[in-house]
């Protein structure tokens, strides 16, 4: 279809290689919006506890290690859920699984609000992890299916993920500020309502076609095609920022509360959101860097870790917080530059029937890294104290960042190319018969 003809009617079916065949342009935009909204709402629910960790510590008697273990419980549950259910949408349909994930998010909010002991608090966190597991790989594959280009779909998925994560701490802080009598419970009730609204919006979305027959729920190990394994490993190395993000999510509110005398919940919420919002900003920056995205991303991550490691050693608490937050912003921007490219290159040339498996494999690495970061910083802070523990974590991550930058060298690929016509398997021609993998 010519460009002029496509402008002439918004209801014209778009037969070009991008997007799902037979879905009108306006319907496709509506679906992309509904899926991105659902993805963002679920991700916001996973970071709601970030800004109210000090309240949860007081109410449930958690120490610093216990608070970081609460985050680690979520990340480990996501990882296990991705392994068990991450590729189920290839068989059961994208929209059905996404709605199931939203139902789990509603259940998590109710469990949080009703929690009366530490075990029930951890149970609520685990249900939140299950909701993220059901949604993460499914929403990514759903958006890539519906978008005109693989990179565009993965960019929308990356943005929805990080904006949702960033809104969670601030949403919890604002609700806790408005309803101070129940700071540890009211945010979860509000989020359950938002999840119900997102579920309603999905009713008006078009489903992507199923790529596999059958409805049986079975464990399908996340994987990528063998031809793309080298690229996937390099993409995983470029996602080292998830370790930093996991640590910052678990420790930032606790560190700021320890440094400042009774800080406002809004200040804590803003600081908790900072690394996620910086990551979202980094995605915009990374889109303009072209082939320099690896250099720019790893440099910003390295500088951010330097600042985060030095901040707890400063004598003035106010300056310590300022330097720490600046480090968060720099590290978040670097991570935001790196991981969308890594995700896009992971799913770029994967056939539709295996796309949820491939995106799930990537997110398994991401959440494993997040859990590792939370456990590392919790263990170091428990053994060395919060200040020295954060600095020791930063030093370890500086070394890890250098190693991952070296391991990801040569990470380029076909993510910017328009998708081939449906039915063509890009892996059936090994780099045009050469037998080489495009890495």
Q: At residue 341, does pLDDT exceed 50?
A: yes
Residue identified by tokens 């080292």 is 240
User: Which of 112, 141, 125 shows the shortest CA–CA distance to 78?
Assistant: 125
Q: At residue 11, does pLDDT exceed 80?
A: no
Question: Which fold is adopted by the domain 24-206+225-407?
Answer: Growth Hormone; Chain: A; (1.20.1250)
Mean pLDDT value of segment 374-396? 89
Q: How far apart are CA 45 and CA 49, in angstroms?
A: 8
Q: At residue 190, does pLDDT exceed 80?
A: yes
Mean pLDDT value of segment 329-353? 85
Q: Which tens digit of pLDDT belongs to each residue from 81-126?
A: 888 876 777 777 888 889 999 999 999 999 998 888 889 999 999 9
Q: How far apart are CA 367 and CA 362, in angstroms?
A: 9
Give residue 64's pLDDT band: very low, low, confident or very high (50, 70, 90).
confident
pLDDT value at residue 234? 87
CB 263 within 8 A of CB 256: yes
CB 186 within 8 A of CB 179: yes
Q: Which tens digit of pLDDT belongs to each residue from 228-248?
A: 788 888 888 889 999 998 898
pLDDT value at residue 230? 84
Q: At residue 20, does pLDDT exceed 60?
A: no
| Pair of tokens at residue 331 | 């590290």
Q: At residue 199, does pLDDT exceed 60?
A: yes
pTM over 0.85: no
On average, the pLDDT of the chain sits at 80
Bigger pLDDT: 301 vs 49 = 301
Which conformational region is residue 21 in: left (phi greater than 0), alpha (psi within -120 to 50 degrees), or beta? beta
| Strand, coil or helix: 24 | strand
Q: Which tens digit of pLDDT belongs to each residue from 350-361?
A: 777 777 778 778
Q: How far apart are CA 43 and CA 164, in angstroms?
A: 5
Q: Which tens digit of pLDDT belongs to each residue from 131-179?
A: 998 998 788 888 888 877 767 887 888 889 888 988 998 999 899 888 8
pLDDT value at residue 12? 34
Of the listed ranges 63-77, 180-194, 268-282, the least confidently predicted one is 63-77
Q: How far apart are CA 154 and CA 143, in angstroms?
A: 7
pLDDT value at residue 211? 56
Q: How far apart are CA 114 and CA 141, in angstroms?
A: 34
């Amino acid at each position: 279809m010519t460009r002029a003809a496509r402008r002439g009617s918004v209801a014209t079916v778009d037969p070009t290689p991008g997007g799902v065949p037979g879905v009108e342009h306006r319907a496709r935009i509506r679906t992309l919006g509904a899926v991105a909204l659902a993805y963002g709402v679920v991700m916001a629910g996973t970071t709601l506890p970030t800004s109210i960790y000090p309240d949860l510590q007081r109410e449930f008697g958690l120490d610093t290690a216990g608070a970081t273990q609460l985050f680690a419980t979520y990340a480990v549950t996501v990882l296990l859920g991705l392994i068990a259910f991450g590729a189920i949408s290839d068989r059961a349909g994208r929209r059905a699984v996404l709605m199931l994930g939203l139902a789990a998010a509603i259940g998590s909010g109710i469990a949080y609000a009703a929690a009366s002991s530490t075990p029930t608090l951890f149970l609520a966190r685990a249900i939140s992890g299950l909701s993220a597991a059901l949604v993460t790989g499914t929403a990514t594959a759903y958006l890539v299916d519906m978008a005109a280009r693989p990179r565009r779909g993965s960019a929308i998925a990356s943005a929805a993920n990080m904006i949702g994560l960033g809104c969670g701490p601030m949403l919890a802080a604002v609700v806790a500020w408005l309803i101070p009598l129940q700071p540890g419970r009211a945010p979860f009730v509000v989020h359950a309502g938002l999840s119900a609204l997102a579920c309603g919006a999905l009713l008006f979305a078009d489903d992507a076609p199923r790529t596999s027959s059958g409805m049986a729920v079975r464990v399908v190990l996340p994987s990528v095609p063998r031809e793309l394994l080298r690229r996937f490993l390099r993409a995983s190395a470029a996602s080292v920022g998830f370790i930093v993000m996991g640590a910052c999510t678990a420790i930032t509110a606790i560190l700021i509360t320890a440094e400042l005398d009774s800080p406002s919940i809004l200040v804590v919420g803003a600081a908790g959101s900072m690394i996620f919002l910086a990551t979202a900003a980094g995605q915009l920056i990374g889109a303009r860097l072209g082939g320099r995205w690896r250099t720019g991303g790893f440099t910003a991550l390295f500088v951010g870790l330097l600042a985060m490691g030095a901040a707890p050693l400063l004598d003035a608490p106010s300056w310590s917080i300022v330097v720490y937050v600046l480090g968060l912003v720099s590290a978040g921007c670097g991570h935001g530059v790196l991981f969308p490219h890594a995700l896009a290159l992971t799913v770029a040339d994967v056939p539709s029937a295996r796309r949820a498996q491939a995106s799930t494999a990537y997110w398994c690495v991401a959440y494993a890294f997040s859990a590792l970061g939370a456990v590392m910083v919790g263990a170091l802070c428990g053994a060395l104290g919060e200040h020295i523990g954060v600095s020791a974590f930063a030093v370890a991550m500086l070394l890890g960042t250098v190693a991952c930058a070296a391991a990801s060298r040569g990470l380029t690929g076909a993510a910017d190319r328009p998708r081939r016509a449906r039915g063509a398997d890009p892996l059936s021609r090994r780099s045009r018969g050469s037998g080489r993998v495009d890495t």
